[in-house]
Amino acid sequence: MPIEVGIWKINNEVKKISFSPIESEKKLEDILVQDISILSENLLLVGRQVKTDYGKYIDMLAIDDDGNLHIIELKKNRAPREVVAQAIDYASWVQNLSYEQILKTFEVHNNRSLEEAFAEKFIIDLPDKLNESHQMMIVSSQLDSETERIINYLSTNFDVPINAVFFRYFQEREQEFITRSWLIDPNIVEEKSSNNNNVGKKEKWNKQDYVVNFDDGQYRNWEDALKYGFISAGNGRWYTKTLQQLFVGSRIFCMIPKKGYVGIGRVIEEAKPIGEATLSVDGEDKKFHDLKLQLKAPDMFHDMEDNEKCEYIVKVEWERYVEKEKAYWEKGLKANQNSAYKLRSQYTIDKVSKYFSINIDE
């Protein structure tokens, strides 16, 4: 049963704002097309009314930052069995879309390249592989009990990566609001999608491990990072945005590009602009700027007044580390040009953890 959402206006008195169904499914679809982040910040719309090879049309098709596809179907007053069957039918077509077909579909619906739009949206390059898994999403202005039973049955008993989301519409005078509720936790659906055993699918992510590229040089120094407990990136959103996904408690496998892995640690504070970041020195919190004369990186404080270009700091508690001259690398280990990215390769986790004498089950 999804969580019900209510809205209360708090002024001189507490007043509950009544909800009503959105006046039409088309209006809901228009809202989602205008801003698909209402469903998830991690989605880019590929197209609306995407034609399949057998003449039917997917309401909305989207792609996430891992290059996986999302089939979004509006209920549109259809019977529950019909809309769920339709979504599964579309999934059977989507799963076979090639890299080139996805690029072409996006270009037809958007008059621009997917590579350009993907980099603009996610601040990372389009992955070398697309459509390694997919998910289905049923969207409605109200969720009936039959649809709920069918989706729960498919998800629970057969690990089908399907979910439902419904919206409540609220109005207070000229102001309009909508709220969103999921039937199933989206993280659970993502896990079911990753568990697909077809050849070529991605490894399942363990929801804690990341690789961080630490570009040792004029803007940041590895000895500084070890002494004061941090990692960083800067010189533009392409480099800094991926740091935002690092959460407190996540584990990072830090590597210096073209050298290898140099440390493993835990995030203890999320990314902040260098002008706002503090570090603990001898038990005392100090602003990063106060350490300027002590840091070995000569240009770490570049663009201090520009939050687009300045260095971003993530505080880390190092568990194991080595000097950069002893960086660990061998063929087959995971590498990527992004500042931070999910580490799915169990081979890399095992090899690097063994090198640093860390129990991966800790």
pTM of the model: 0.63
Of 11-15, 256-260, 267-271, give the lowest mean pLDDT range.
11-15
User: Residue 21 has what pLDDT?
Assistant: 62
Residue 180 phi/psi, 5-degree rounding, is: -125, 135
HEC assignment per residue over 178-229 = EEEEECCCHHHHHHHHHCCCCCCCCCCCCCCEEEEECCCCCCCCHHHHHHHC
> HSE on the CB side for 139, CA within 13 Å?
28
b/e 271-303 (16+ beta carbons within 10 angstroms → b): bebbbebbbeeeeeeeebeebeeebebeebbbb
User: Residue 345 has what pLDDT?
Assistant: 84
pLDDT at 192 exceeding the cut of 80: no
Tokens describing residue 307: 């939050």
Domains detected in the chain:
7-194 (3.40.1350.10), 209-355 (3.10.590)
User: Residue 197 has what pLDDT?
Assistant: 44
What three-state secondary structure class fits 78? coil
pLDDT at 200 exceeding the cut of 70: no
Nearest to 217 by CA among 235, 243, 236, 244: 235
Q: pLDDT band for 333, please (50, 70, 90 cuts).
A: confident
pLDDT at 355 exceeding the cut of 50: yes
Average pLDDT of the chain, as a whole number: 88
